[in-house]
Amino acid sequence: MMVKDAMLCLKLRSQGSKNGMEILLVGSFGLVFIMLVNLLRPGLISIVEIFLVSVCLVAVFVGFLKTQEPFYSLIITEQLLTYHHKYGSWSLNRENLHHSGIPKAEHGLEYLELNAVGIKLRDTDDFLMDISPRLAGKLLIEQRHLFMQVVQKHCKNGNCPSEWLVEDNNYTSLNGRKFNGLIAMFANRMRHLQQLTGYDLLLPASVLDRSIWDFSHGLNSWQQNPKLFIQSQLKAKNA
């Protein structure tokens, strides 16, 4: 069946959300089996059985966390890139994407590549007006370790500006638009990230279904020719 152009849509599932139900079931069945064995067999529980119970409990916990993640982490149409998170979602219009790449923290001759895809925006105000405070606050926490990798690379002598370490809850954009609260804190994080790496947003490797280099290249291809990019990806998935 041919897919109409207006319906072209690419759905990507992150590596981090896969096999959640399988891990949960294996852990649960393993836990039940060990408990039944100990009920039917006389004697004290052994160290090996304690270890196996611990492994099963970890599997149940990890599997449960995976099942709480959205089934699709990214949905790409001809006009929109939408990132889905269990605390909300944000959307990026293709016209607002300048380019993507791999963020690097440089200090002298040394540099560090982040395990994430960086996104450079044309208009940050448009993005900030779309993201919810709840999601912005969660991303501030989840992606802090990536941002701190950049900061530490630039602050080996301990001369970090204080605003890099604690985001202000007030922000005024270049267009004069004012933000406050969690959105302002996220905006300040974006500004500092842009100053240090040249990118405004991060998509960690854990939310992607492929390598950061492949996804970055694909995102630039989408920006240049969305129809051709989506068609090629759908064809590859169905092959």
Report the pLDDT value the prediction gives residue 68, as an integer from 0 to 100. Answer: 63
* 161 in Cβ contact with 178 (< 8 Å): no
* 83 in Cβ contact with 65 (< 8 Å): no
Report the pLDDT value the prediction gives residue 5, as an integer from 0 to 100. Answer: 47
Note every long-range contact of 79-83, with CB atoms under 8 Å and residues 24 or more positions apart, other chains counting. Answer: 79/226, 81/219, 81/222, 83/203, 83/207
* C-alpha to C-alpha distance for 81 and 119, rounded to whole angstroms: 11
Residue 36: is it exposed, middle or buried by C-beta count within 10 angstroms (0-12/13-18/19+)?
exposed
Q: Is the pLDDT of residue 41 over 80?
A: no
Q: Is the pLDDT of residue 48 over 70?
A: yes
Report the pLDDT value the prediction gives residue 156, as an integer from 0 to 100. Answer: 67
Tokens of 94: 């293709």
* C-alpha to C-alpha distance for 188 and 194, rounded to whole angstroms: 10
Report the pLDDT value the prediction gives residue 2, as an integer from 0 to 100. Answer: 34
High-pLDDT (> 70) share of the chain, %: 85
Tokens of 100: 């993507």
User: pLDDT grade, residue 190 (50/70/90)?
Assistant: very high
If you average pLDDT over every residue of the chain, what do you get? 84
pTM: 0.77
